[in-house]
């Protein structure tokens, strides 16, 4: 998925704007797009995801080079249990001509919002797609605070490091950015609240279903 997203990023550069004048790569830094996708099993909705792609300058491990992040924030039920998840993949050197781009997972990652963080939450880690790592958190007080900020449209910060005890790279994720397109004057980020609203509605529906299951027990 990340390699596919890198083609999207490269396409932004091969435009009349990019070919007519030097590209200001700092204009690329930030959230490129957020998309809502439901999770369904056998036709039943069991979860919700916000799929994102973003660019950051990594001063901790890559001397300020651009790094692409892609992944998703998920909220999913497993029977009567609920899990909040963060899936992240990283890509370096994606704008270096002739370089082979390969997604790599972070060593550790977490979500941080104005009122909560999953940095200290109990976490289950697993590598899913090649180059990605999934961090799953139980639905406790800490993750509930993070989820509340997400559904209320607050800015999320994704923190990640590349080694045990390493410095965290902090990446702001703006859920109000629907997509980024290239124009003859630079890059235009189209804003929309639709994806966050769909995610919030989905979360409410999943919680309601879990409550019904608990009552039936």
For residue range 102-150, list pLDDT tens digits in order.
789 999 999 999 999 999 999 999 988 889 999 999 888 889 999 999 9
Given a cut of 60, is residue 1 above it in pLDDT?
A: no
pTM above 0.95, yes or no: no
Beta bridge partners of 122: none
What mean pLDDT is predicted for residues 146-158?
A: 94
Is residue 23 within 8 A of residue 11, CB to CB? The reply is no
Average pLDDT score over residue span 9-31: 63
pLDDT computed for residue 106 by the predictor: 96
Mean pLDDT calculated for residue range 43-65: 94
With a pLDDT cut of 90, the percent of the chain lying above it is 62
Query: In this predicted structure, what is the pLDDT of residue 149?
Result: 96
pLDDT of residue 8 exceeding 70: no
Looking at residue 212, its pLDDT comes to: 84
Phi, psi (degrees; rounded to nearest 5) at 65? -70, 155
Q: Using alpha carbons, list the distances in angstroms from residue 107 to 20, 88, 181, 207.
A: 40, 10, 31, 31
């Amino acid at each position: 998925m990340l390699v596919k997203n890198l083609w999207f990023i490269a396409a932004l550069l091969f435009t009349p704007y990019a070919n007519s004048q030097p590209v200001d790569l700092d204009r690329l830094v930030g959230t490129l797009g957020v998309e809502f996708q439901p999770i369904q099993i056998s036709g039943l909705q069991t979860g919700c995801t916000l799929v994102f792609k973003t660019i950051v300058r990594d001063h901790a491990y890559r001397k300020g080079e651009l790094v692409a992040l892609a992944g998703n924030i998920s909220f999913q039920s497993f029977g009567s249990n609920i899990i909040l998840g963060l899936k992240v993949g990283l890509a370096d050197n994606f704008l270096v001509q002739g370089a082979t781009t390969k997604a790599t997972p972070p060593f550790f990652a977490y979500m941080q919002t104005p009122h909560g963080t999953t940095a200290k939450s109990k976490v289950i880690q697993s590598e899913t797609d090649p180059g990605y790592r999934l961090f799953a958190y139980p639905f406790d007080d800490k993750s509930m605070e993070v989820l509340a900020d997400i559904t209320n449209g607050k800015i999320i910060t994704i923190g990640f490091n590349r080694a045990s005890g390493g410095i965290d790279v902090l990446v702001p994720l703006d859920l109000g950015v629907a997509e980024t397109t290239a124009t003859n004057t630079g890059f235009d980020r189209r804003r929309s609240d639709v994806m966050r609203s769909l995610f919030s509605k989905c979360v409410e529906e999943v919680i309601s279903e879990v409550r019904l299951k608990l009552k039936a027990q």
